Amino acid sequence: MRRRLAAIVLVLGCLLPLSVVVRAEADPSVSFQEVEESLTCQCGCGLTVHSCNHLQCPSALPLRAEIREQMATGKNKEAILAYFGEKYGEKILSSPTTEGFNLLAWTIPFVLFGIGAMFVIVTARHWVRRRIVPPPPAAPAAPVRTAYDTVLDKELKDFDS
């Protein structure tokens, strides 16, 4: 029962990121800032076009003008990103697409985390079950009587009387 529950939790944990990605793609409304955040500035700063903080950036300013042109033609966000992806290559997209190998880039970290968590849980349970309980202490054995003990008892008896 517990294994089934753990398997279900693992599968749901792996599918959750996919549902978030699909939900993000289903939104047809687009804003200028959303498109800017979806594109990486090519000046080398490593930021998105929206976040690029270089004054008179040779990459961000022309990209912003191109975004405005594409939005003026009435294209939705996916079409605009596809346009930029075809023109500049996939490197301009700030997040990997959810197709082909890039789908693995989205899901593998979550799958590996789930497998690692299951490994830790199984190993910890195994260690707890194998814990060796020390046996209870044995009752002290009756002392062995020696010749000295009998002499001592006799002397103590004579002393008390």
Cross-strand bridge partners of residue 48: 40
Largest CA distance in the chain: 124
> CA-CA distance, 44 to 52, in Å (whole number)?
10
Sole residue written with tokens 């089934």 = 4
Instruction: Write out pLDDT tens, residues 80-111.
Output: 999 999 999 888 988 877 778 888 888 899 99
**CB neighbours (10 Å) of residue 101?**
8
Give the DSSP letter string of 34-94. HHHHHBB-SSSS-SBTTT---TT-TTHHHHHHHHHHHHHTT--HHHHHHHHHHHH-GGGBS
Percent of the chain with pLDDT over 90: 36
Instruction: Specify whether the backbone of 145 is left (phi greater than 0), alpha (psi in -120 to 50) or beta.
Output: beta
Q: What is the reported pLDDT for 130?
A: 76
Q: What is the pLDDT of residues 114-136, one digit of tens each?
A: 999 999 999 998 888 877 777 78
Q: What are phi and psi of 17, to 5 degrees?
A: -60, -35
What pTM value is reported for the model? 0.49
- What is the mean predicted confidence (pLDDT) over 32-46? 91
Q: Name the average pLDDT for the chain.
A: 82
- What pLDDT sits at residue 8? 67
Question: 26 near 123, Cβ under 8 Å?
Answer: no
Token pair belonging to 129: 């079950």
CATH of 30-129, picked from 2.102.10.10, 2.30.40.10, 1.20.1090.10, 1.10.8.640, is: 1.10.8.640
Q: 3-state DSSP call for residue 99?
A: coil
Is pLDDT above 80 for 150?
A: yes
Domain boundaries, the chain: 30-129
Q: Which two three-digit tokens encode residue 70?
A: 């594409």
